[in-house]
Amino acid sequence: MLTNSTILITGGTGSFGNTFLPMTLEKYNPKKIIIFSRDEMKQWDMAKKFVGDDRVRFFIGNVRDKERLYRALDGVDYVVHAAATKIVPTAEYNPFECVKTNINGAMNLIDACIDKGVKGVVALSTDKASSPINLYGATKLASDKLFVAGNAYSGEHGTKFSVVRYGNVMGSRGSVIPFFMSIKDKGVLPITDERMTRFMISLEDGVKLVWHAFEDMIGGEIYVKKIPSMRMTDLARVVAPEAKQEIIGIRPGEKLHEQMISSEDAHYTYEYPEHFKILPLIHNWAACPKRIKDGKKVPKGFVYASDSNSEWMTDIDLQNWLEINYEKIGSI
């Protein structure tokens, strides 16, 4: 459905947008992809990579500005919502700003997409939105709920909204691997807690999950990718085998282990070969066969968490990934 379509990515100059753009241009040959973001320098740097490609456009704007969204969405068929204030300590110390972007921005986008007749919207979520303990996770949970409920608001306009949720994106700006890589020569890597685990996903797999959501969604689903976990101590050891690991204590709003599906979600969660799908309870949508398709309901009390995950990333897996992406990480 993305072939010969017009797609807009909010927060499109981020790590996700920089991966989504070339992959989607190659696979689907869309009519146009619009990068909507607030940072002119990031747009300038990104535009250099696509000189001469008329399919790539850039639009300065902020999801907090509804009028600007209305202008940007003229003629747009599909939207990927990647704009967010996402660094956990930053959100804790700047709560008003986090709410303005992650919640108010979501509401602005939902209204604008409905009014402009956008066909489908996929919003990026996070493992921190499941049973949140920090403000970032709480705002993303609120955002997820808004996008799910947006399907009821769209009515005869027919705009579909769904969400994709995954864990730590390897190599993304602000994430742990680029941070460790940047300081590994100092001989000491800070570890907040030696027990800490995280879900790990590549940017490429994140893009593929968004593609799948567009192809599969009826509206209101939350797609959760099956991905491996890794202990932070193991990750640090692979990145810098000779470095000392210094335990510094958990930061404000940080969890020991991340969760993507809670036991409360399990009542209306279905399993598929490569992902889970959390169906919405409102309007009895969770009972819709069109949403369930060939899914198998997960057991009662099921929890998808990084410490109890059945799949773990090995040292060799991470080493192979680092070898392939080393230069890319260094440029972040």
**Residue boundaries of the structural domains of the chain:** 6-167+201-226+259-304
pLDDT (tens digit per residue) in 75-115 = 999 999 999 999 888 999 999 999 999 999 999 999 999 99
What phi-psi label fits residue 64: left (phi over 0), alpha (psi between -120 and 50 degrees) or beta?
alpha
Mean pLDDT of 185-206: 94
pLDDT (tens digit per residue) in 275-328 = 999 999 899 999 999 999 999 999 999 999 999 999 999 999 999 988 887 665
pLDDT (tens digit per residue) in 232-245 = 999 999 999 999 99
- Give catalytic residues, as residue numbers: 128
- DSSP 8-class letter at 103: I
Identify the CATH homologous superfamily for domain 6-167+201-226+259-304: NAD(P)-binding Rossmann-like Domain (3.40.50.720)
Residue ranges in the chain assigned as alpha helix (H)? 15-28, 40-47, 66-72, 88-93, 95-99, 105-115, 135-154, 176-183, 203-216, 232-239, 289-292, 315-330
pLDDT (tens digit per residue) in 12-57 = 999 999 999 999 999 999 999 999 999 999 999 999 999 999 999 9
- What pLDDT, on a 0 to 100 scale, did the predictor assign at position 331? 46
d(CA 199, CA 128): 11
pLDDT (tens digit per residue) in 212-225 = 999 999 999 999 99
